[in-house]
Amino acid sequence: MNWRERIVTTPGTLLGRPRIAGTRVSVDFVLELLASGWSSQRILDEYPHLKAEDLQAAYAFVRERMKGEEFVLRVKADAKPKDLPD
């Protein structure tokens, strides 16, 4: 999937945040919906102007942006074993 065909940024639209081309639906908004428990199908049902390929492009964009990123898990010094993530 070449996300560059469907994900755009325009300084004057949505403060330049990456969005699905031809819409005002930002990539981060799509991620917020998913994080809130929405399925891809529900997003497509609620936003009928979006296509499955738009969502796939948003996912591919995020995947590419996240490649090579390092994440450090920080744990409080006084955390008890039950407080630690699995």
Mean pLDDT computed over 12-17: 94
Residue 77: which region, alpha, beta or left (left: phi > 0; alpha: psi -120 to 50)? alpha
Percentage of residues in the chain having pLDDT higher than 70: 88
pLDDT at position 76: 72
Mean pLDDT computed over 63-72: 87
User: What is the pTM assigned to this prediction?
Assistant: 0.78
Q: Is the pLDDT of residue 81 over 90?
A: no
CA-to-CA distance for 66 and 59, rounded, in angstroms?
11
The model's pLDDT over 26-58, given as tens digits with 9 standing for 90+, comes to: 999 999 999 999 999 999 999 999 999 999 999
What domains appear along the chain, each with residue ranges and CATH number? Answer: 3-73 (1.10.10.10)
CA-to-CA distance for 17 and 58, rounded, in angstroms?
12
Determine phi and psi for 62, rounding to 5 degrees. -65, -45
CA-to-CA distance for 28 and 32, rounded, in angstroms?
6
